[in-house]
A and B are shown apart, each in its own frame.
Chain A
Amino acid sequence: MATTVAAPARVFGSGIKRREDPRLLTGTARYTADMTLPGQLYASILRSPHGHARIKKIDTAAAKAASGVVAVFTGADTEGLLQSIPCAWLVPNSDLKTAPYPPLAKTTVRYVGDSVVVVVADSPEHAADAVDLIEVDYEPLKAVVDPEKAVKSGAPQLHQEAANNIAFHWVVAGGDVDAAFKNADVVVRDRIIQQRLIPTAMEPRGALAHYVPATGELTLWNTTQNPHIVRFIMSLVCGIPEDRLRVIAPEVGGGFGSKIPQIQGDFITVFCSMKLGRPVKWIETRSENYQSTTHGRDHVQDVEMAATKDGKILGLRCTVWAGMGAYLSTAAPGIPTILHGLMLSGPYQIGAVKEDVYGVYTNTTPVEAYRGAGRPEATFMLERVIDRLADELKMDPVEIRKRNLIPAFDNGHDVVTGLKYDSGNYQGALDKALTHVDYAALRKEQAEARKKGRYIGIGVGMYVEICGLGPSQVAGAVGFQGGLWESAIVRFHPSGKAHVFIGSSPHGQGEETTFAQIVADELGVSVNDVKIVHGDTENTPMGWGTYGSRTTAVSGAALAVATRKIKEKAKLLTSHLLEAAVEDIEYANGKFFVRGFPDKAKTIQDIALMANVAWNMPQGMEPGLEATTFYDPPNFVYPFGAHVAVVEVDGETGVVQLKRYAAVDDCGHQINPMIVEGQVHGGVVQGIGQALWEHAVYADNGQLLTGSLSDYAIPRADVLPDIEVLSTVTPSPHHPLGVKGIGEAGTIVSTCTVYNAVIDALEPFGVQSIQMPLTPERVFNAIGHSSANPAGSRKG
């Protein structure tokens, strides 16, 4: 009887379960807050209650005398011992003014939450109790929280280094934008407020520092996305040589950009441990997290688009006031410039763009990367103004996009801002999305509903994003004070099991699984025989971290190249052992053999054993089976997609109901589609949060009014539909595995997609703009201020 044996399913591309989950599911994973060392002390920080004030006097006597208190330190105690917190993205040609950023404020506080005094005690309760006993005499100063108002004459000044609070002024220009506007049949304009957001990783930030005076060595457990950068910056600020500093990112509970920078509490904790020679732990509360860990977005954007009457876009011109907060956080200046301005033309053929970006100091929490970081702000601007153009020209929003999309390309396309996109098929993604939702039927349904007084809206959003940061030469050219390469070590043990050590630092994204899939696919070992090690500077090679959707794109490439080096060495060793020419050695399914003789093969396990015992090595070959790769990508990667949202707005109450959301994303080849889908779900929902609910609100005097999870509305389970996730596959031509990034894609496009849908629903009311988030009150007021137009729709 004939039998058929199914070919083994390829592990690359398979949605296998995650290998990190058992420890997370059973409560055995260890996050920073879960660590306790013998003799450990606890730090609690007194923070500024004022948005802007001069410190006149600090009285710590009562706190020092309180039960359990070991030490109390103010900014004066750090003089000469802690340097200013550096900004690490010094965007060139922008007249950048970096102001001193002390870990503990010395003379002036500049935002609510600015660190003023730290208490170290034998328990968290004693530390917190003693903080309440500190008396600080403040002289309140006038504050400014709005970046556009902050640059006006007469506004309160934050730093003497930055006149008119302008931290930088950066311009990107390409093509002849003046001619584009001069020759235009139509110009549409919009003012967009990209409201301030709070990243809200579920694990707040924290640090545990252990300094050993006898050796001068310090170990730091830190809630970070990039432990190697922490070691570098911590060394500069605290004066510990890098070789005496070990930084460990244990389990990390999400980041979304808020765990890229080193914040005041990190330096304070290290300082306390160095002063006291004992382990010191500091874990922020959620309220502290909201006040003093970083925020995101905060743009005021004036945008105008020039076009012909048949909908061909000629040019885009904009001015952006980007709130930076009170100090320039680690990566902050690069976000509204490099990651925003260079993406102005998106997936469209636009011949001329110009943007002025003003980075502005305000009396608010420092702004940093937040999922998408610059690209959502660019995508929203573009997708919003295209919809306005469609409205102006009485065209369907899909049709106007189709007329302007860059045609499909698979190996490089130059755009007006100077970038070279790697590959794209934007029309393909759009067509797939429209077919999936049956766009024409949706428009009919909308028209029918309107006749019955129901307001359904259909929003389309498209994007291309820059991620996989990036070639290091480019990083240097754009002022990033570091490299952007990644590294991997693959080490095979005698039994054929492997360890992989990577410099990047996943914190929920699942690379312990997907990276094992890469090794398994390249070398034919079981996924379960490969352990991925990350997050400890003492045993992993240098790497620049996990952010900007770069871990699979860059670190994954390093790993692929390293596994291929292993394969080459295995072929050489096989040729020696089988006494054949290396040109005749082939590899298939984990076996190395002489061409035509697959039965006489060496497995990778055989090779691992022989290489490790080294009894019979070819002349000149080193023992061991290990490879290291430092991979600097030749270009960024450019994922893209098209999303569609369907909403219904209650004309009586202004309540927006998100009825459907379909996402088509293209991140090239997918290593694990289950994980890709999970990234899309989470990313889309964060972007929906911005469109509908989230807003970090400051009072004019600098008080943060949304200072807890009671006031800041992140999405909950009961307010969301299922996200319909689809994909197309356009491999990156330069990546060894053809992959791109997927971590931020959903967030980059979902905000504008939902927003466009709501404005579309309100077309009968003539509403063209509502400030986000689109709460019932705002929508209701927008409807109330417009005159209803029951004439029906232009679309269909």
Chain B
Amino acid sequence: MELSVSVTVNGRRYDRQIEPRLLLVHFIRDTVGLTGTKIGCDTSQCGACTVLLDGVAVKSCTCLAAQADGASVTTIEGLAPEGKLDPVQEAFWEKHGLQCGFCTPGMIFATKALLQTNNNPSTEQIRHALEGNMCRCTGYQNIVRSVQAAAAAGAR
């Protein structure tokens, strides 16, 4: 059995026949072919697959592609379509908020989700907001600095 879905990814609509069990993250990576969204676990702990679903940050491995029918998804490829970095991306670059880069797309969306609701977060609030996204390289410190820098630059 296959389902028809229509999902808008980074402003472009994709009408596709999918297996009902297909996760959103696999729809993004394999069906649409946007591999910037990463898979780092199989238990929804790591947060590497975080995207915006209708403007809300979700772990795209916790969501079926079928649930995204009619919805709009923003992935990391959609943040700098003209090559000009989003202020959150700029802040991560400026503050060395990434090393191997694997957790980075998810971290950037977790940051955007935080800054949408709190444009001047404390260090504690930032660390709390990032607890669902794992990084093994940075010890999080420069990620926290990146979020602070993004907030200071008015990023949302």
Contact = CB atoms under 8 A, between A and B. Distances in A.
Interface size grouping (class) on chain A: 35 or more
A691 B17 CA distance: 49
Interface string A710-739: 100011111010110000000000000000
Contacts of B46: 202, 286, 709
A714 B100 contact: no
A34 B35 contact: yes
Nearest to A285: B42
A194 interface: no
Contact of A27 (B37, B123, B134): B37
B34 interface: yes
Contacts of B143: 717
Given A18-B93, A22-B93, A30 B35 contact: yes
Interface stretch (A326-334, A417-425, A506-514): A506-514
Interface in A242-257: 251-254, 256
A202 B102 contact: yes
Nearest to B81: A26
B121 interface: no
Contacts of B131: 716-718
Interface string A494-537: 00000000000001111000000000000000000000000000
Interface in B68-126: 75-77, 79-80, 85, 89, 92-94, 96, 98-105, 108, 123, 126
Contacts of A200: 136
A710 B89 CA distance: 29
B103 A682 contact: no
B19 interface: yes
A427 interface: no
Contacts of B105: 27
B55 interface: no
B4 interface: no
Give the interface centre of A27, A681, A710 by most chain B CB atoms within 10 Å.
A27
B100 A17 contact: no
A25 B92 contact: yes
A555 to B, nearest CB: 18
Give the interface centre of B19, B46, B98, B123 by most chain A CB atoms within 10 Å.
B98
Given A26-B76, A675-B96, A681-B138, A718 B41 contact: no
A28 interface: yes
Contacts of B98: 21, 24-25
A179 interface: no
Chain A contact residues, majority secondary structure: loop
Given A27-B105, A509-B99, A678-B96, A714 B38 contact: no
Contacts of B76: 25-27
Contact of A681 (B35, B93, B141): B141
B127 A682 contact: no
A26 B141 contact: no
B85 A24 contact: no
A204 interface: yes
B45 A710 contact: yes
B155 interface: no
A29 interface: yes
Contact of B99 (A25, A28, A254, A684): A254
B42 A720 contact: no
A28 B142 contact: no
Interface in B33-80: 33-43, 45-46, 48, 75-77, 79-80
A90 to B, nearest CB: 31
Interface string A122-139: 000100000000000000
Nearest to A18: B96
B139 interface: yes
A515 to B, nearest CB: 16
A242 to B, nearest CB: 28
A678 B96 CA distance: 7
Nearest to B98: A24
A28 B36 contact: yes
B7 interface: no
B128 interface: yes
B42 A708 contact: yes
Contacts of A22: 85, 93
Interface in A347-394: none
Contact of B139 (A36, A285, A684): A684
Contacts of B136: 200-202, 254, 256, 682, 686, 714
Contacts of B96: 17-18, 674-675, 677-678
Contact of B127 (A17, A23, A718): A718
A203 interface: yes
B134 A202 contact: yes
Give the interface centre of A34, A204, A285, A718 by most chain B CB atoms within 10 Å.
A718
Closest 5 CB pairs of A and B: A27-B36, A508-B100, A24-B101, A253-B102, A685-B139
8 contacts: A28-B77, A33-B38, A202-B38, A686-B136, A717-B126, A717-B131, A718-B128, A720-B141
